[in-house]
Amino acid sequence: MNDKRKLCFNWGISDHYGWGIYGLNLLIYGQMSNSFQIIPLQSPDFLYPLDPLAHKFISDRLPQPNTSIELKSHDIFLTGLGNSNQIDIENNFRNIGVIFNEVNPLPEDEIKKLKSFEFVICGSTWNSLELEKCGIKTQTVIQGIDLELFRRAPKRYLKDKFVIFSGGKLEYRKGQDLVIKAFSIFAKKTQDAVLVTAWRSPWERELAQTVNQSNVCGPLVPSDDMGRSINEWITRNGINIDQVICLGPTPNRLMPEVFREIDLAVFPNRCEAGTNLVAMEALAYGIPCLISKNTGHLDLIKDQNCFPLLEQKPINAQDKDGWGESSVEEMVVLMEECYQGKIKINPSIARESMLDHSWEKAINSMLTKF
């Protein structure tokens, strides 16, 4: 007799974007629970082939096509939520939201929708506090990282370069325009500097041009070939093409091969409703990181584990309360001091700050909320 409660979730399973990695690990570690049968409602989408055992494990746990899934009163349906949501709740099972929301304050209609859930799981302390102010019941669950995958290895290809990394889907909120501006200044004086970008995402045609909101850089012009558009944007903003490597869509399992070449990672994100999965992975790898001291990043910044970007100018927009604009000048100074060896991060301290954030612990933490 199977007395496990069913737990359905309605977002993707993947290896190349945040929600998909969340879904993959919810399936893997949730299925190991003695209390829940995990049922994903979307088919997996992987860039990189799974190993045979992982493929079997996941395939065996996917519902068959056209299968009818009956949920009872003690079963759980998790709905992935964002900044604007279509919600239809009329049933007898437990409805719980999982949210990464940057719009602050929320419109009244969105607040009403979120109040219809039993509670909402938030990806950061900041996100939980802001929703609680609106009368929405929340629980905080910090997302996880694969601590076995993200661990240090020596450089292989770029031993003679000072390599700066910027990652996350290309959009205004992530602050890649600030990275371009700062690196363009830094690289003019530092001929052995290289910028490696990992900005590609399934939503880039819709999101990428939002970087133009800031006017920090000359405009990005989207096209059908977004890889070329990104390269042209970078070079039009004063960076030598020989000093930049723009990666294509990259599966999560291959990111350690990128990280082994990195000397400094830069995350001047204007807002993170979660904790920034890429920054967490960089810290776990032991990479020195510049991290903006705002919103969800506040859960990551610990004593001596990174270089916080302290200058955070408020953003004058009605839906961006709490967001922060990092200083390009501060970023350039920190890049130069890291390059010159004037300031350093102990890789062990950076990694140790992430050791409580394995995916297994994160998913187990989520399951205890039910």
Q: Contact at 8 Å (CB) between 290 and 309?
A: yes
Assign 61 to helix, strand or coil: coil
Q: Contact at 8 Å (CB) between 186 and 289?
A: no
DSSP 182: H
Assign 31 to helix, strand or coil: coil
Binned at pLDDT 50, 70 and 90, residue 198 comes out as: very high
Structural domains for the chain: 5-145+358-368 (3.40.50.2000), 162-352 (3.40.50.2000)
Beta-bridge mates of residue 245: 196
pTM metric for this prediction: 0.96
- Give residue-wise pLDDT tens across range 277-314: 999 999 999 999 999 999 999 999 999 999 999 999 99
- Give residue-wise pLDDT tens across range 7-62: 999 999 999 999 999 999 999 999 998 899 999 999 999 999 999 999 999 999 99
pLDDT over 60 (residue 77): yes
pLDDT over 90 (residue 110): yes
C-alpha distances (whole Å) from 303 to each of 146, 160, 353 are 22, 30, 9
pLDDT over 50 (residue 253): yes
Specify the pairing of strand 162-167 against strand 264-267: parallel
pLDDT over 80 (residue 192): yes
Q: How far apart are CA 105 and CA 121, in angstroms?
A: 18
pLDDT at residue 2, rounded to an integer: 65
Q: Which ranges in 199-327 belong to alpha helices (H)? A: 204-207, 226-236, 255-259, 277-285
Closest CA to 262 of 124, 181, 335, 158: 158
Lowest mean pLDDT among 10-14, 67-71, 136-140: 67-71
C-alpha distances (whole Å) from 307 to each of 290, 301, 312, 351 are 5, 8, 14, 14
Q: How far apart are CA 370 and CA 361, in angstroms?
A: 15
Assign 26 to helix, strand or coil: helix
Beta-bridge mates of residue 76: 7, 94
Is the N-terminal amide bond of 288 cis, ω within 30° of 0?
no
Closest CA to 128 of 290, 257, 296, 362: 296
